[in-house]
């Protein structure tokens, strides 16, 4: 785990904190307060980069989040691991696992549905094309 953190820190440039501070200073300045002629080329590029950067979603004040981590499963003896769980334990553990799931929003669900539908239609077209081509080839060869 510590090695992963060291690798992650090694990937970050040494002056990343300075860049973040500079970007924060640029975002504080209102675009109407700064004359475009007064900015250097690098400042204009930095302002454009900050404006194009995606904004992280903030949790709404009345969000229905859990607000706490899901508790770990209770520890069992090694002998119990070989035994099957009774139906009540199974349902209890299934509900605990389903509480951990991050469910998609309706807009995400619609977007995923459209992506899957388009992919399936493309695959249907490809298989149909192969069927027609090979069928015509078989008729020419054996027909």
pLDDT 10s digits, 28-37: 554 445 666 6
Residue 22: what pLDDT?
A: 53
Question: What pLDDT score was predicted for residue 59?
Answer: 60
3 state SS of 14: coil
Give this prediction's pTM.
Answer: 0.38
As a whole-number percent, the residues of the chain with pLDDT over 90 amount to 39
Q: Report the candidate in 60, 38, 58 with the shortest Cα–Cα distance to residue 47.
A: 38
Q: Which pLDDT does position 3 carry in this prediction? A: 56
- DSSP string computed for 56-109: PPPPPTT-----SPPPPPPP--HHHHTSPPPHHHHHHHHHHHHHH--PPPHHHH
Distances in whole angstroms, Cα of residue 4 to Cα of each of 12, 16, 17, 33, 101: 13, 19, 20, 43, 26
Instruction: Give the per-residue pLDDT at 75.
Output: 66
Residue 113 to residue 129: CA distance in whole angstroms: 24
As a residue count, the chain comes to: 143
Which residues of the chain fall short of a pLDDT of 50?
Answer: 30-32
């Amino acid at each position: 785990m510590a090695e992963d953190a060291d690798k992650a820190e090694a990937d970050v440039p040494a002056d990343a904190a300075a860049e973040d501070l500079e970007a924060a200073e640029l975002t504080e300045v209102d675009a109407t307060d700064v004359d475009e002629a007064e900015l250097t080329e690098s400042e204009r590029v930095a302002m454009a980069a900050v404006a194009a950067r995606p904004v992280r979603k903030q949790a709404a004040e009345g969000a229905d989040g859990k607000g706490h981590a899901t508790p770990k499963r209770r520890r069992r003896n090694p002998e119990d691991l070989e035994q099957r769980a009774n139906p009540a334990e199974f349902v209890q553990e299934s509900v605990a696992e389903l509480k951990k799931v991050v469910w998609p929003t309706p807009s995400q669900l619609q977007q995923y549905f459209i992506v899957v539908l388009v992919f399936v239609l493309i695959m249907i077209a490809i298989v149909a094309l192969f069927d027609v081509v090979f069928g015509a080839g078989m008729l020419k060869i054996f027909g």
